[in-house]
Amino acid sequence: MSAASPIIPYDNLNLGKKEQVKKMFNSIAGRYDFMNRILTMRIDILWRRKAVNLVKKYPHDSILDIATGTGDFAIELAKLKPAKITGIDIADKMLEIGRQKIEQKGLSGKIEMMEADSENLPFPDNSFDLATSAFGVRNFENLNKGLSEMRRVLKHGGRVLILEASEPQNMPFKKLYKAYMSKVCPAIGGAFSENKAYDYLNRSVAAFPSGKNFEAELVKAGFSDTHYIPLSFGVTSIYIAKK
C-alpha cells in the first residue's frame, strides 16, 4: 500500500485515512458483529480461536489488543487468563458495544477498553507481554508506524500476534474469492449496512501486503522470528513475531 495513495473508505471526503476509518466504523458499529458472522459464515470465530491457541505458550500476563473494535478478539484472549487485557480503538461507538459485551460476559475486571490511536499508543516502552490485532492493521494510516508502536510497548522477548485478511494465491479458489469480495460481499453488506464499508474491505485487502510481504514489514519495524500461517485457503493469515 503506497503512502502517497492510501486505500480510503470515501473518495469524496477531505479527511485523512484515520479519520475516514473512524467515521466508517462508527457508522456500522451497530451491525458490525452481525455482518462479520454473515460474511464469514461464522468462520471468523474459529480464526480467532486458532490464533489465540498459537500464543498460549508465550508470556501473556499483560495483553494489548489494538484496533479491538467490539472486543471479539479481546474476549477470546481472556481464555488465556492474563492479569489484564487492554483494548484500544479510535472508533468510540465500536468501543461502546464492546464494553456492553464484556460486561455481559463478566469480564469488566479483566478487559479495559479505551479510545486511543494505534499509531501513537499512550503507554510506556516495554509495557506488555503480548500485543495483538485482529483485522485491524490493514486500517493503519501508516503501517510501519503502527507496527513500530506495537514493538515499542512490548517487553523484550514479547510477541506480536496479528490476524489479518489476505488474498488466496491458488487457482481456482483465488478467482472465486475475488468474485465474492468484489461482487457478493459489497452487495450483502449494502443490504444491511453502509455499502462503502464493504467496498473498502475488498480494496484494502487487495492492496495489503500479505504473506511474506507482510513478514517483511514486520522485520522492517524491528521484529524477528517472524512466521505466518494461512487459514481457509489463504483467506486469512496469522502472523507471529518477536521483539
Domain boundaries, the chain: 43-167+210-242
Q: Give mean pLDDT, residues 3-19.
A: 84
What does the pLDDT look like over 96-135, one tens digit per residue?
999 999 999 999 999 999 999 999 999 999 999 999 999 9
What predicted TM-score, i.e. pTM, was given to this entire model?
0.93
**Contact of 61 with 82, CB cutoff 8 Å:** yes
User: Residue 2's pLDDT is what?
Assistant: 37
User: Residue 88's pLDDT is what?
Assistant: 98
Between the CA of residue 146 and those of 117, 131, 189, what are the distances in Å?
9, 12, 28
Count of C-beta atoms within a 10 Å radius of residue 194: 18
pLDDT band, very low/low/confident/very high, at 40 (cuts 50, 70, 90): confident
| CATH number among 3.40.50.150, 3.40.50.720, 3.20.20.100, 3.30.470.10, domain 43-167+210-242 | 3.40.50.150
pLDDT band, very low/low/confident/very high, at 195 (cuts 50, 70, 90): low
**Contact of 194 with 29, CB cutoff 8 Å:** no
The residue assigned the cell 495489503 is 208
**Contact of 182 with 204, CB cutoff 8 Å:** no
Give the phi and the psi of residue 33 in degrees, each rounded to 5: -65, -45
User: Residue 161's pLDDT is what?
Assistant: 98
Q: What is the largest CA-CA distance in the chain?
A: 47
Distance between first and last Cα of the chain: 24
Distance CA 159, CA 26 (A): 30
The rounded mean pLDDT for the chain is: 92
